[in-house]
Amino acid sequence: MKEKTIILDLDDTLYCEHDYVKSGFAVVANFLAAEAKQQDHLVIYKKMIEIWMEHGRGKVFDLVCSFFSIEQVDIHQLVQLYRTHLPSITLYDDAVAFLNNQIERGVPLGLVTNGLSVMQWNKVKALKLTSYIDAIVVADDLGGQAFWKPSPTPYLKALEILQITAQEAIYVGDNPNLDFITAKKLGLETVRIIRDHGDHMNSNVPPLYQADRQIYSLLELIDG
């Protein structure tokens, strides 16, 4: 029986997305410190983390500027700086081992990810994923947010590039709200990875949204 091709999610599957957030905050904190002059970038950065933990990501830049009375900065400029920075992130150890194993075996891989195109491609660049993955599909490139998962379009695009059918593929992701419902409808096998940290690790969803099985390390996919 032919071995199935694995198509991976990116955020919180191959690396820790919270590291991306912290990387972006560090860049913005450095910028704000230069603008405000009277504040140390580490003090601003620590305040950002505190606000994020308490209020979520949405208003961090507004609240930190208000807290330090930094009025001369355009919040949209900070958002753009965050979104376009080249992040300081690294692959999970098991992701490195898994990807290297697939390379050694000559097994093709795919990737399907949501998120703004510039952000996702900068992550791909920082993680050097083009060295490992044959079919990288950033859903935003296919026509904007309407084509993000759970749209079938990015899955179908990955299958097309890999020249396989849905029944020949496994989709591995972390977010049961988006990752599995459409993949299952298309005929892909689905696997949810549970990490120690992440925004969706504790998500409970109806059976329709659940993966076929769950794992705690990508190494479980090797000969599994």
Q: Choose one of 84, 108, 130: the last residue of a domain.
A: 84
Site of tokens 């071995």: 3
Note the pLDDT of residue 200. 67
204 and 134 co-located in one domain: yes
Rounded to whole angstroms, the Cα distance separating 170 from 186 reads 11
Rounded to whole angstroms, the Cα distance separating 22 from 90 reads 13
Site of tokens 């179908």: 156
Return all residues near 69 (Cβ < 8 A) that are at least 6 apart: none
96 and 199 co-located in one domain: yes
Q: Choose one of 84, 108, 137: the last residue of a domain.
A: 84
157 and 130 co-located in one domain: yes
Note the pLDDT of residue 207. 87
104 and 72 co-located in one domain: no
Tokens encoding 115: 């998120």
97 and 75 co-located in one domain: no
Note the pLDDT of residue 203. 72
Rounded to whole angstroms, the Cα distance separating 172 from 8 reads 5
pTM of the model: 0.94
132 and 202 co-located in one domain: yes
99 and 193 co-located in one domain: yes
What total of structural domains would you count in the chain?
A: 2
What CATH number has the domain bearing residue 125?
3.40.50.1000
Q: Is 204 exposed, middle or buried (0-12, 13-18, 19+ CB in 10 A)?
A: exposed
23 and 9 co-located in one domain: no
Q: Choose one of 84, 105, 134: the last residue of a domain.
A: 84
Ramachandran category for residue 223: left, alpha or beta (phi over 0 → left; psi -120 to 50 → alpha): left
Per-residue pLDDT of the chain (224 residues; tens, 9 = 90+): 468 999 999 999 999 999 999 999 999 999 999 988 878 999 999 999 999 999 998 899 999 999 999 988 999 999 999 999 999 999 999 999 999 999 999 999 999 999 999 999 999 999 999 999 999 999 999 999 999 999 999 999 999 999 999 999 999 999 999 999 999 999 999 999 999 876 766 777 888 999 999 999 999 999 65
Note the pLDDT of residue 196. 85
76 and 167 co-located in one domain: no
Site of tokens 């405000």: 36
Tokens encoding 1: 């029986």
Structural contact between residues 168 and 183, judged by C-beta atoms closer than 8 angstroms: no
200 and 125 co-located in one domain: yes
Tokens encoding 163: 């020249």
106 and 188 co-located in one domain: yes
Rounded to whole angstroms, the Cα distance separating 172 from 189 reads 9
Task: Give residue 131's domain range.
Answer: 5-15+89-221
